[in-house]
Structure 1
Amino acid sequence: MNDVPKDRIEDAGSPGRRPLRAAVIGAGMAGILAAVKLRERNIDLAVFEKADSVGGTWRDNTYPGLACDVAAHWYTYSFARNPDWDRLMAAGPDIRAYFERVAAERGVLPLIRFGDEVTRLEYDAAGWQLTTAAGYRDRFDIVIVATGVLHHPNIPQFEGLETFEGAVFHSARWDHDVPLDGKRIGVVGTGSTAAQLTSALAPRSAHFSLFQRTPQWVMPRPNPEYSPEEKAAFRADPAALEALVQQLRSKTLEGYATAVLDYDSPQLAEIERLCREHLETVRDPDLRRRLTPDYRAACKRLVISDDFYRAIQHPNAELVTSPIVRIEPAGIRTADGTLHELDVLALATGFLVDRFIRPAKVIGRGGLDLDDVWAEVPSAYLSVTVPGFPNLFMLNGPNSPVGNFSLIEVSERQVGYLMQLIDGVQRGDYREVSATPEALDRFEAERQEAAKRTVWVTGCNSWYLDKRGVPSSWTFSFDRFAQEMTAPKMADFETR
């Protein structure tokens, strides 16, 4: 696609008289998946990736200690299981290599236009006109948005941040040219990234400071290595490997996924017991007190770590709970008057999770602007389609299932659902399809009612909540999600 003239604009014409043309925006986990499934249908396809390689969040995040907190064998495509994972939960570089390999083996790489961000999508009678930052323009019948959620870093507006004389960067923009060994390192944040950084850097630093605003519940989980014999057995017996995947899946869904939906569930009580028992491994009573949350376990996303508590008790490590007042040239000044002198400052402060395809401008039927539709909060019918935006489909869109389970399975089920809608376009049953406003309103009302029983509304501030305080994720069971994704209910769609 890179050699197509920038000013090329094709008439979409009638889908019944020529192959469909589809654009996939993003070449991370979901974008690769969408491209594979579209290729299977012989749909003319282009993938647009603003970066210079595939991998999404596993490309952007390269910080020390990076790992997935979901079992690796479950965190794979169903059509590309990997018998060669080294551990139960894989390291970040291994996951990135996996996505790069699948993209190469499945013929996705030649379809990708790298290094050119999509800035505008506009729908008219001829389909979706797509424009990129470099001025490239083209027209497509179908657009699949696979931009992900965790890709716009959240940079806190600390007073004086620009005056800091050491190295400062967000955890998703790690500067590997900055030396770390023997340095005074500060990390702001206490989520999964901060916990992994603490485990990796506390033993290497002259002094390590973790700046905590809110303590987190930490769930222990061993991360054993797979032996060469186990890997060989997985390679020799794909059925046995698949059985392991299903075992890992069931254990997680029956525990965590059930627990978060009912704050009175025995599964949640068991998670809380394990977290409190793990917290008791912190020997110093004062440190243990400051690490103890005042909200229920899983209200925020659980931190999964066997070694965070050990690392924060390292002789070089310090937990700072006094609020940050400002950044100074030499370090961080906290409310108690202390200047914490630093050489390196890493901001493990998360992401702007309500962006999705934005900041690209998306204009639907009749000039409908997605920014206006999402002015209050983002929403989508079953998380995949927005009324008024025909043939525009989202993977891991608003209100998708999120949590400590495999987003690859979530994406695969969404792709299976969307491909059935796309098949209708390809057959000529209809030219365009999108959810009705009534279907979205009904879904949202039911989703918000179900949210009232979830642990996410029991008294914490987390990125799972939108600005109204309503959980922005799937609030039903995972079984309900799987069932909904089996086949579209066409009565909930407008077709033309």
Structure 2
Amino acid sequence: MSEKKRFVVIGAGMSGILAAIKLSEAGQDNLVVYEKAQTIGGTWRENHYPGLTCDVPAHCYTYSFAPHPDWSAFYAPGPEIQSYFQRVIDDYDVRRFIQTDSEVTHCAWKDGKWEIGLADGRRDEADIVIAASGVLHHPRYPDIEGLRNFEGAMFHSARWDDALDPSGKRIGVIGNGSTGVQIVSALAPTARELVHFQRSPQWILPVTQFEYTDADRAAFRADPAKVDEIRYGEEYWNGVRRFTSAIVDPDSPQMKEIEELCLRNLEEGVRDPELRETLRPNYHAACKRLIYSWNYYDRIQEHDVVIDTSAIDRVEKRGIHMKSGKFYELDVIALATGFHADKFIKPTKVIGAGGQDLDDFWARRPTAHYAVTLPSFPNFFMLNGPTGPVGNFSLIDIAELQWGYIAQLMRPVLQGDASWVAPTREAHAAYEERRVEAARNTVFGTGCTSWYLDAEGVPGTWPWSYDAFADAMSKPNLDEYKFG
């Protein structure tokens, strides 16, 4: 084994924590994890809005090596997930590697090393960089006239004001992805009035939520196999494979099954015919990210909730004026309008070999070789980078698969047989050509608008099955890589 390499991990969310644990376990302790925020957790730190839950079963949304028997419910609330990550970094003794309030502003490859610059003026140097900056961390604000004129409380869902008491208030929620649906479901019982502004309605797949009892948790602690029955059981993994098969082929039996479940949920769950038609999408289920909910349709019918799918004209001091002429007087506006999902590591400036600027490399669309590596960016690896699998399954599992791929690519460098590794431009161009062609034929490319689409309307995702991704990650094709 050669001299230990210096590792810099960017981001202390789910995938950055994974990288720190795996490197530490491999004896690579010349390591630092730079986190721009004041604490760890990534999206589970950024988001703490009412009703926040993960749409992956709690026992399935854990590291494979760190099961957790004490979840409170089948679908875990966000604060518990954040607490889980806090506990994991202590259990695996990697907190010592993490430096918070440490935003990486630039990385430059010079003389066989990565020069690292931080916002506070500090400098570092690394042999290997792991970009674990995540995807959903740059809030997207809607382009609505007069947005700043509102005199009530207004904030993005990822900047929720925890001091707000929503009881008895007139609340408007703009956006109806998973976040908007969860916020509306949570606030409907206590709000005086609630208006859900929807640019287009969503298909909702019904799921069952339930709390675990003390006896359940005791049983999980006493017998880890009971956790494994959920974590690795057929019910979850058949659902994952059904979903990814449906994505790849919108005409498949799996897609028809999903659409039938969503349609039945709408037809049987919404009593009022007019409301039912207002909530009926005109596109394939899963063309947008599929919404999982156990109570949205019930909540909007049980309480004083208005669904408005017409266009917003402008925001005024006391509310929202619609193009139809209708005016909603509001006390609170919640912007559940998502994130800039195409930024990844940006605004960090990354300059690779030969002066290759990542901004230029991504000028057309963000891309990475099998979502992990980049030509002309030696010893630079991404976790959950562009073109990776996305959907209603655990990204922890995706990151673990990617780490297995990265570990194999790094082995010659760590053993001293090479100084650096990067994919060839030719191999990456061929991969991206195949991917784009396949992506256009996925359900994401069937005509709706979504955050999965790039500027040219091409889905920026892995367009093949989950198992195909697992196979690709199991062993890199070294013919597609250069070692120097």
TM-score, with length taken from structure 1: 0.95
**1:19 is matched with which residue?**
4
Q: 2:474 aligns with which of 471, 486, 493?
A: 486
* SS of residue paired to 2:474: coil
The CA deviation at 1:238 is 2.0
Matched, 1:253 2:240: yes
Q: 2:354 aligns with which of 366, 373, 386?
A: 366
Matched, 1:420 2:403: no
User: What amino acid is aligned across from residue 198 of structure 2 in structure 1?
Assistant: Q
Decide whether the 8 Å contact of 2:63 with 2:397 is kept in 1: yes
**1:235 is matched with which residue?**
221
Matched, 1:72 2:58: yes
**2:110 is matched with which residue?**
124
Give the 5 Å matches for 1:304-343.
304-343=292-331
**1:39 is matched with which residue?**
24
The CA deviation at 1:349 is 0.2
**2:125 is matched with which residue?**
139
User: What amino acid is aligned across from residue 135 of structure 2 in structure 1?
Assistant: V
CA distance in 1, matches of 2:32, 2:97: 5
**2:376 is matched with which residue?**
388
CA distance in 2, matches of 1:254, 1:291: 28
Give the 5 Å matches for 1:232-311.
232-247=218-233, 248-280=235-267, 281-311=269-299
More displaced stretch, 477-486 vs 223-232:
223-232
* SS of residue paired to 1:122: strand
More displaced stretch, 398-407 vs 219-228:
219-228
The CA deviation at 1:310 is 1.1
The CA deviation at 1:177 is 1.7
User: What amino acid is aligned across from residue 60 of structure 1 in structure 2?
Assistant: E
More displaced stretch, 301-310 vs 221-230:
221-230
CA distance in 1, matches of 2:230, 2:143: 45
Matched, 1:101 2:116: no
The CA deviation at 1:451 is 2.1
CA distance in 2, matches of 1:108, 1:329: 48
User: What amino acid is aligned across from residue 366 of structure 2 in structure 1?
Assistant: P
CA distance in 1, matches of 2:163, 2:213: 34
User: What amino acid is aligned across from residue 287 of structure 1 in structure 2?
Assistant: L
* SS of residue paired to 2:456: coil
**1:202 is matched with which residue?**
188
Matched, 1:90 2:63: no
Encode CA deviations 1:164-218: one digit per residue, 9 max, x unaligned: 0001000000011222110000000010000000100011111001011110000
* SS of residue paired to 1:38: helix
Is there any run of 5+ residues in structure 1 with no aligned partner, and where?
Answer: 1-14
Encode CA deviations 1:17-59: one digit per residue, 9 max, x unaligned: x311000000000000000001112221000000011110001
CA distance in 1, matches of 2:201, 2:59: 30
The CA deviation at 1:315 is 3.5
* SS of residue paired to 1:319: strand
Encode CA deviations 1:264-308: one digit per residue, 9 max, x unaligned: 111111111111111121111111111100001011111100111
CA distance in 1, matches of 2:359, 2:90: 35
The CA deviation at 1:253 is 1.8
The CA deviation at 1:452 is 3.8
Q: 1:170 aligns with which of 156, 163, 169?
A: 156
Count of equivalent residues: 481
More displaced stretch, 308-317 vs 423-432:
308-317
The 4+ residue runs of structure 1 with deviation greater than 4 A are: none
CA distance in 2, matches of 1:342, 1:300: 29
* SS of residue paired to 1:418: helix
CA distance in 2, matches of 1:116, 1:261: 40
Q: 1:191 aligns with which of 165, 177, 190?
A: 177
Give me the identity figure in percent: 51
The CA deviation at 1:339 is 1.5
More displaced stretch, 438-447 vs 44-53:
438-447
Matched, 1:400 2:385: no
* SS of residue paired to 1:204: coil
Instruction: Kindly report the root-mean-square deviation, in angstroms, between the aligned alpha carbons of the 2 structures.
Output: 1.2
The CA deviation at 1:95 is 0.6
The CA deviation at 1:487 is 1.5
* SS of residue paired to 1:469: coil
CA distance in 2, matches of 1:416, 1:31: 14
CA distance in 1, matches of 2:357, 2:303: 55
The CA deviation at 1:321 is 1.8
TM-score, with length taken from structure 2: 0.98
The CA deviation at 1:239 is 2.9
* SS of residue paired to 1:110: helix
User: What amino acid is aligned across from residue 314 of structure 2 in structure 1?
Assistant: R
* SS of residue paired to 1:209: strand
CA distance in 2, matches of 1:343, 1:184: 5
CA distance in 2, matches of 1:169, 1:128: 38
**1:8 is matched with which residue?**
none
**2:436 is matched with which residue?**
448
CA distance in 1, matches of 2:387, 2:241: 21
